[in-house]
Structure 1
Amino acid sequence: MKYDLRIALFQPDIPGNTGTILRMAACLGIAVDVIEPAGFDMSDRALKRAGMDYLEQAALTRHQSWRRFLEWRHSQDRRLILATTKAEQSYRRFAFLPGDVLLFGRESSGVPDQVHKEADERLVVPMVEGRRSLNLAVSAALIAGEAIRQLELI
């Protein structure tokens, strides 16, 4: 199966979120890239509980470092779209393209400035004023859902 859309997780630190995203991705035909180091062992019970039996069906690629991920991305000529609370452009007003990689940062700290600089685009999930952030898996589902809708992947 060719995956026209990917979700990348930058050094995730909550196994339940990663498991939920892997389960969603397996069900929707989205590949997932985990950029290590993760803040947990990839055999973690919470990861397995959230991902259930879908983990084995997920198209997962693990990258040993940010540098290795960038090498892979450039070799694939894929656009990198960063989800961040620091962006101004709404994901709802963005034109997704086949091959896009949707990048999500660590639950505890997002991504460092160097990662922000590497992104081709930065998107935000608009929220009610005074709210800080959504759960990472929820944000990934919202943005991936919009990309799937636009690209008519399912």
Structure 2
Amino acid sequence: MKFVINSYKGAEPLEFGMSHAEVREAVGGKFKSFKRDPDDEDDPPLDYFEKKGCFAYYSKTGELRAIEFCKPAEPMLDGVNLLGLKFVELMKLMKKKDATMKDTGAGFKSIKLGIGAWAPGGKHEPNIPAETVIVFREGYYEETDG
């Protein structure tokens, strides 16, 4: 499934602020709802659409606040599938769009664009694509302390 990234708005057909029901209808198919940290009472449940390659993260009030993609999803930015690029190519593309992005060594975080990626091999395996791409609403990292 293709998701068209609109910085700080979402990834079509998903928009930040949507409810659980709206997200589930827009993505379609089966999903699992769970907590990343079951021991954290403040951690709201997220939805995982395995066949779509999409995780939907919600606020404590139930609004969509971030979307994380893995294969087979196709998170598209300016017509480019970010999960289809080698990590080194993804980093070059993102640095052109945001020279201030934070290189984490195993990915990046662009507060300017509201986009990040995780690649476990990072700079050590630059020809392997990122495993995940995350799109987040304004203030997301302040909310999660991450």
Q: Same fold (TM over 0.5)?
A: no
Higher helix proportion (structure 1 or 2): 1
User: TM-score normalised to the size of structure 1?
Assistant: 0.25
